[in-house]
């Protein structure tokens, strides 16, 4: 595992989301939502918002909590997953995120949607949750544990705040072992994970997260490979990012467009990763 001190890692996460390319890309291309979409065969890869709502719905189905149950959104970003779960599934959501500027956006959207009574959010680090034991019926992550410098600690925190019988759902990436990839694929994955500060993606081979969940005391650990469901969106990003990325690469500035690099390089080397849905329980 890459050794990253937590504070340095968190500062680098902030730097990634605060850079101009991330701010513009997430704002204008993704409308503030920072996760991939879910595509059934034949659905247009360009309808990002619809696909993202479907992805949030898939998370809600896996969480499968009754109306009024309380869930923690760890790494909530702009709160889009929380809004879908609060409206479609009528859950009570607490969001936590490292970045104040993501939370400002989340609070504006939650208020505008009239959901302030059902969703609250606060600044915090999911490695050190500011909640007492047994606070939630469910905990979920959507594309955020990749940023963790210490996934074992984050999972221990998720388990601590879950009530007995509570459910953990995570939509997260894993990697193909280094020995099974070409030199180019390894280099591309390493560059993207380092520039976007995603040490857990870089270090977790397929199957490692399931083992870690069991080591941390979770029961009924189950994983599903959902890569083919999100791949159309990555394909769209690879088309949009291709020309700017190639220009930057030719002029020696490839690292300035990290999101374009992600779209182009990771789509090209798509055998290097899996997009997984993990479900686990805290034993009653």
Select the span of 122-130, 223-231, 232-240, 270-278 touching ligand SAM (CB under 6 A).
Answer: 122-130
Select the span of 73-81, 129-137, 254-262, 272-280 touching ligand SAM (CB under 6 A).
Answer: 73-81
Q: Which of 106, 107, 139, 101 is nearest to 19 (CA)?
A: 101
36 is a site residue for ligand SAM (CB under 6 A) = no
Select the span of 84-92, 121-129, 182-190, 209-217 touching ligand SAM (CB under 6 A).
Answer: 121-129
* Near ligand SAM by CB under 6 A: residue from 77, 138, 151, 199: 77
Nearest-approach distance from CB 144 to ligand SAM, in angstroms: 3
**Gap between the Cα atoms of 51 and 55, Å rounded:** 6
**Gap between the Cα atoms of 127 and 52, Å rounded:** 26
Q: The tokens of 250 are what?
A: 């030719």
75 is a site residue for ligand SAM (CB under 6 A) = yes
H or E segment at 81? helix 80-88
- In angstroms, the Cα distances linking 31 to 28, 34, 191 are 5, 9, 26
Q: What angle (nearest 5°) sits at the alpha carbon of residue 4, between those of residues 95 and 156?
A: 45
* Near ligand SAM by CB under 6 A: residue from 4, 65, 69, 81: 81
Assess contact for 114 and 92: CB atoms under 8 A: no
* Near ligand SAM by CB under 6 A: residue from 4, 13, 129, 213: 13
- In angstroms, the Cα distances linking 202 to 9, 17, 147 are 14, 18, 10
* Near ligand SAM by CB under 6 A: residue from 126, 136, 218, 245: 126
Count interface residues toward ligand SAM (CB under 6 A).
23
Q: What are phi and psi of 190, to 5 degrees?
A: -65, -45
Select the span of 38-46, 119-127, 206-214, 230-238 touching ligand SAM (CB under 6 A).
Answer: 119-127
Which residues of the chain form contacts with ligand SAM (CB under 6 A)?
A: 13, 17, 33-35, 75-78, 80-81, 96-99, 102, 125-127, 142-144, 147
């Amino acid at each position: 595992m890459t050794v990253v001190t937590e504070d340095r890692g968190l500062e680098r996460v902030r730097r990634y989301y605060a850079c101009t390319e991330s701010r513009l890309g997430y704002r204008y291309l993704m409308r503030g939502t920072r996760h991939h979409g879910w595509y059934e065969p034949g659905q247009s890869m360009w309808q990002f918002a619809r696909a993202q709502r479907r992805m949030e719905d898939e998370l809600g189905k896996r969480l499968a909590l009754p109306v009024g149950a309380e869930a923690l959104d760890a790494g909530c970003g702009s709160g889009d997953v929380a809004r879908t779960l609060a409206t479609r599934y009528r859950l009570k959501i607490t969001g936590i995120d490292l970045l104040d500027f993501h939370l400002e956006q989340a609070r504006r959207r939650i208020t505008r949607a009239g959901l302030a009574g059902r969703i609250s959010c606060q600044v915090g680090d999911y490695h050190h949750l500011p909640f007492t034991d047994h606070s939630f019926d469910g905990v979920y992550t959507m594309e955020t544990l990749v940023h963790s410098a210490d996934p074992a600690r984050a999972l221990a925190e998720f388990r601590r705040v879950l009530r007995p019988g509570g459910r953990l759902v995570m939509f997260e990436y894993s990697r193909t072992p280094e020995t099974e990839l070409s030199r180019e694929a390894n280099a591309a994955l390493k560059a993207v994970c380092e520039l976007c500060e995603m040490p857990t993606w870089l270090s977790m081979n397929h199957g490692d997260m399931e083992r870690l969940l069991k080591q941390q005391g979770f029961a009924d650990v189950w994983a599903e490979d959902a890569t083919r469901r999100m791949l159309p969106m990555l394909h769209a990003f690879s088309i949009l990012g291709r020309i700017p990325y190639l220009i930057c690469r030719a002029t020696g500035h490839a690292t300035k467009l990290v999101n374009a690099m992600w779209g182009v390089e990771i789509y090209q080397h798509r055998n290097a990763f899996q997009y997984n849905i993990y479900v686990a329980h805290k034993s009653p």
